[in-house]
Amino acid sequence: MVVFMVSCKTKKQDSPPEQVASGQEEKLKADVKKYPDSLLLLENLVQYYREGGNYGEALTTVNHALQKDSGVARLWDIKAILSYENGDTATAIKAFEKAISIFPEPVYVISLGTLYAQTKNENALVMADALLVGNKAKANREAYFIKGLYYSAINQKEKAISFFDKCLDTDYGFMEAYREKAMALSDLKKYPEALQVLKKAVTLNNRFEEGYYYMGLTYEKLGKKDEAIESYETALIYAPDYVEAKDALARLGIKH
């Protein structure tokens, strides 16, 4: 949040949102120009564009910085994240690969492994094993999760579930593993078991909106419309902008 402090004797009208936004952008750009070696100031400008949904300008800013110095791993990481959020998974993968080639930080390995898993690339297993070697990264939880994602993506659901269980044995509070395990069980049409997994998740974290959403989907599979509606509505309590939950309620004839 940016706070504008104005000292004046006469009351002035608030600036239109466009002017405020433009002023903020110009200030951020001026800061970057004044201190071109500051990665923090560059990230502030990129984040400004990102929060405004302006991925074109965000990526242009990062690419310009990479033209000046392509050896900064963090810039490739930022490019990867922006590309993924902008729907360009292929570019995101290449950017994460570049970041890791410069500096194999565990967080980059986790991100790349996750994308490999989601795209059914068996290199996901290589990334996961790299995290497990010697446990130097202290990322066993993430390694098992990546393996689970990969096996789920290639439709080996039982094997995926075994790795999600390993993940939860490492950290029973890892909500994403509950979600993915429940989805795998649902794919196997084991709806009561999926429901139990999700109930445990929202018991551990009663603000886990995705847990309620997937509970809703599972209740629908079980033909329990009222319970499904209640679950979707609970998801919206904790995440009012949860589009999928709103769409699910609309599908069931509930306006929200």
| pLDDT at 134 (0 to 100) | 66
| pLDDT at 1 (0 to 100) | 24
C-alpha separations of 115 from 90, 106, 128, 157, 237 in Å: 9, 14, 12, 18, 30
What pLDDT digit, counting tens, does each position of 57-79 carry? 999 999 999 999 999 999 999 99
Find all residues with CB under 8 Å of 250, minimum gap 6, and list them. 256
Angle of CA points 170, 155, 244, to nearest 5°? 80
pTM: 0.85
What pLDDT digit, counting tens, does each position of 183-203 carry? 999 999 999 999 999 999 999
| pLDDT at 202 (0 to 100) | 98
What is the sign, positive or negative, of the torsion defined by CA atoms of 219, 221, 226, 228? positive
The alpha carbon of 36 is separated from its chain's Cα centroid by a whole number of angstroms, namely 29
Helix residue spans in 69-122 (DSSP H): 73-85, 89-102, 106-118
| pLDDT at 104 (0 to 100) | 92
Give the CATH architecture of domain 172-256.
Alpha Horseshoe (1.25)
| pLDDT at 150 (0 to 100) | 98
* Separation of alpha carbons 242 and 212, rounded Å: 11
Ranges of the chain whose pLDDT falls below 50: 1-17, 19
Give the CATH architecture of domain 25-95.
Alpha Horseshoe (1.25)
79 contacts 66 by C-beta, under 8 angstroms: yes
